[in-house]
Structure 1
């Protein structure tokens, strides 16, 4: 199949891969910034945009296919290498290539864990075989922050009820956000770095980027406040830095079946 590339915008670029008929196949959206943005709002609401000559970072924030028949086909290595090559040719002053990625499987994984614990028989939490999702101090803070709303509930039940509220009240409540941030941050790091499926990262987006030469550098709190972002990722997004030698790194990572993280990788707020 013959593919072509077109750079449509300057400060927020949209690269389209087309088939010969001219029908769009895949869209890759790239923002040109001074530094790696920590929230999707900072990218979409960039006003005014910086001059192209001042940009030093190309941030990939959306990759989407228009063809359902491509589902499950990993074109990532070719696409990312091609985009980076084109950007380097046209804008040699760009030195950093990174992503600001959603974590679409995080909340589904977490809510299943919370529901399982909340439904456990009384006293089961004391069993050495029962997984404890919350640290004692996290549970205390959650209970104290919701005495009026969820009186008599355990910390696990409080967290589950907060996160499953249909109008996402917790995302606009400072006290709830303060109580939820530590456990959500810790469990998000666990989900990205430790949870695996057949030896690979459980999260589909993380697995896509890690297989194609990226390295997790940071997780960002309230980086996506959209309804979809809160529902799928709990508002979190990850910053991943593209390595210089994509093909070699991707091959090495596939052989090791491990999640790579930067030595400077950190949780947002540290």
Structure 2
């Protein structure tokens, strides 16, 4: 009996030792998980704050799924980037667009000035079409007279006034619309001076695209200027021919060339 009691006591000591070891391991594991849990909770708060800063209160349909909220933010970025590349490609007459994200942002910064320039180029193309057509029908038409503006007097020696201008404008609108349809806008119409010399295209300055900090700006304490690497690419959207509306894939050789030789943003496109 004494031997059994002694054996039981020895086993009890071993059990207590093992229990203490297991308890310590459980406490250590719990302590190790605490910072992970805190970090995950903080990350969840940051995702909620970011999506709220972007979409406001219109995110209840996403529920509490953090993956859904991240996907919503990614979808916005993806669609904005895709539309930006399409706009840049169109403004460049479907020439190759930048590959690096930084250069895409720089091109976007130039786009307002570029659009204004394209408007002037389209006006030059339309005026050229009209003048060529007029010269073909009226060989003795002098461009120098047209450049001066409207005549002071009409053929009947009466003054040329605003009523005459309005009448001619109304009369010429149908012809102007037809000439606009006939005008070739598939290439950039450059500027020529009075001597007929082609002038170099204007090189636009990059406009700042970072808005000022406002009430709902996400993480206002972080400077965004250095967050995007100079050579970062939108990897999920590489290899796309942005000159097509249905996002056709580039050939493998063209894709590799685009990644290794991106279009620089500080070089104005060669206008044809």
Please report the TM-score for the alignment, with normalisation by the length of structure 2.
Answer: 0.24
Q: Which has the higher helix share?
A: 2
Q: Based on CA coordinates, which of the two structures has the bigger radius of gyration?
A: 2
Please report the TM-score for the alignment, with normalisation by the length of structure 1.
Answer: 0.24
Q: Which has the higher strand share?
A: 1
Q: Which has the higher contact order (CA 8 A, sep 6+)?
A: 2
